[in-house]
Amino acid sequence: MSGLSFIWKSITVIMLCLSLLFILKALPTIRQLFISNRGNAQNQWKTIYSLSVLFIFLFCCMFSYCLYGNASYELGTAALIIMCGSILAGKVIKTSGSSVKTLHQVTDAQEFLSGIFQEMGNLMIVTDLHGSITMVNKTAESILEKTKDQLIGRNADEFFLQELFESNEIGRLTEIGLLTPRLKEIPLQITINQLQTNGKTFFLIVGQDISHLKQQEKQLKEYLIKIERSNKDLEQFSYVAAHDLKAPLRAIHNLAVFIEEDLGQLPDQVKINMELLKGRIHRMEGLVNGILEYAKSGTKSVNPEITDVGNLIHEIVDNLGIQDHHQVQIQEGLPIILTQRILLEQVLSNLMSNAHKYNNNPDPKIMIASKELEKEFEFSVSDNGPGIPLESHHKIFRIFQTLQARDTYESTGIGLSIVKKIIEEKGCKIELDSSPGEGCTFKFTWPKLMM
């Protein structure tokens, strides 16, 4: 064998080896494409896979012939062409593999989004620019009582008003009544959005069946009517009961006065008993008035007005008959607010009256202050009286509860109950900070409508 023939044979063997290497490298990709595709594409990749195996067999034959036989010029040229073809085929197969993988990912994403679209609990309809339906989900089929095939291609304005597709309605939440083929009206909240993709314009209609909300709204209105009727009946009952209870009390009081006048001079013990009787009648009348006031508290329709809290407290001091105004210390700069003045006056008057009435300190003091919070004002009414034990804090806001004997301090035990009811009906709160011998501080919040 000459030197030139040996070189030519070596080059031919190398080219065949490279061709075989490229084909073997592409073979797993071909197999994967064959397995992952379906239908005609799978059959085509199966054929390519079979041809690849056949080419590998031919390469082996050519390689053996070249290695053990003579390498002609034609065989070398064929090996070169095969090598170039193998390189090109490998590149094409690699690109195809990437493309198919991307296509599968896109297909999976489309199936995933389509599944979400179909399973959404809201009605969803896609139309083209002219309103022709192109996609619907299962909820739309259920609400419209038609199948997908019956809806695709129909115009959306057969079900929805054409005006909803106008530019000023796009994107707005609208409430409509949808009439089904069975002549049943379904209340819907719908939104129509105009979208663009790949240069195409389409409409996405999203609707929610609000039948249950309408039913709840109807029930709520019925409950409110019943509650309003019950409140009126209760208020009427309170007036009637108060009048019917006051009448015999006045009769007993008048009878006691007549007995005193008829008997003239009474023994001391009888006088004490008669005064005790009239005191009990007065207390009972106070309880009846308290019950009536408690029933009415918070139900009064009171218009808000501009209220200077500082001036309001000075008026309350005068109304309570506190002679020494130095007993009352009022923080400067109390707010001016827009509020229901009569209700705020009722709260402050009750708290200041208790601070004055039950204060047994030789130098009694009442302190009124306020603090501005984020959404409310916090008012406080403090005194330097005897204080209230911790175990009694929860009792004082109960109706008819008093900490002092009624023979010592005449009280109905209703005032703080009314205060608590008014404050809580405004969504605010009241709390007590007190201990024996340390006085009391009542803090309550009040809605902030500052001027």
Q: Quote the CA–CA distance of 337 and 451 in Å, as a whole number.
A: 5
DSSP codes, 17-49: HHHHHHHHHHHHHHHHHHHH--THHHHHHHHHH
pLDDT at 443 over 90: yes
More reliable by pLDDT, 278 or 28: 278
Say yes or no to pLDDT of 2 above 60: no
Give the residue with greater pLDDT, 317 vs 406. Answer: 317
Structure tokens at 220: 């709520």
Q: What pLDDT band is residue 3 in, cutting at 50, 70 and 90?
A: low
Judge whether residue 350 has pLDDT over 50. Answer: yes
User: Does the structure show a pLDDT above 60 at 273?
Assistant: yes
pLDDT: is 215 or 240 the higher one? 215
For the segment 183-192, what is each residue's pLDDT rounded down to a tens digit?
A: 777 888 888 8
| The pLDDT of residue 1 | 45
Cα 96 from Cα 133, distance rounded (Å): 35
Mean pLDDT of 283-300: 63
Q: Among 4-13, 182-191, 218-227, 413-422, which is the least confidently predicted range?
A: 4-13
352: left (phi > 0), else alpha (psi -120 to 50), else beta? Answer: alpha
- Return the residue matching tokens 């009352």: 328
Identify which has the larger pLDDT, 414 or 154. 154
- Cα angle value 386/392/395 (rounded, 5°): 120
- Distance from the Cα of residue 261 to its chain's centroid: 71
Burial class (CB in 10 A: 0-12, 13-18, 19+), 126: middle
